[in-house]
Structure 1
């Protein structure tokens, strides 16, 4: 396309824009209600309103951001949400692990309390726990229950 063609295209697009951009009128009716319209009201005093596209003075924040700033803000928002989701999954996994620990410790404490002698396998050999070792295990299981069985 030559320079003349480019100039002609620009002029046509500007004239098309001018043709579609009409006036906006503002008037107040007998009840004090303000109206806006693209046609001038008949037998009413009206004023032409200057309408501009883009942001208004009332716009805040995002409207004043450049496209790159908007992309950066969106990326940050997505990263923040991903971090929240990750933390939520971790908290859920920890809660499930605490629940499982609670269940196991409760069963183990019940077992220890219901048997007078507890046999364990140690280094390929079996032996009975001493009363002190049994009490130590009871204390350990109770501590787990106290920490992980909170609902």
Structure 2
């Protein structure tokens, strides 16, 4: 139980990471490279990295970013767009699996707790637990079916 709470707390802390831009390209030796700075060549793909949603938050689908003219000129192709769409679908499936796991935890553990802002452990009441279960079920029905 304690390990679960620690894992939840760490995931909440990590979810506050700032979105970063990454650039992906293949160098002259045929090796795929990743960097936060664009390469000197014009052949690269810009990748947007975002943090996962918080536990119990809305899992609203991310709006696909419209490619700008510079992206199109820098090698953005239909294949890259399809690959990004597949990656987004895989990320959504992972989020749905995590949401199902969280729902199972909420349903099977009537005595849940969390650490408040003062650093003290407090028990989650039954009404709040039921509200969290309802929210998780609603998110599953809306975004994962």
Give TM class, smaller chain: 0.3 to 0.5
| Higher Rg | 1
Q: TM-score, with normalisation over the residues of structure 2?
A: 0.42
Which of the pair is proportionally richer in helix? Answer: 1
Q: TM-score, with normalisation over the residues of structure 1?
A: 0.41
Relative contact order (alpha carbons < 8 A, sep ≥ 6): 1 or 2 greater? 2
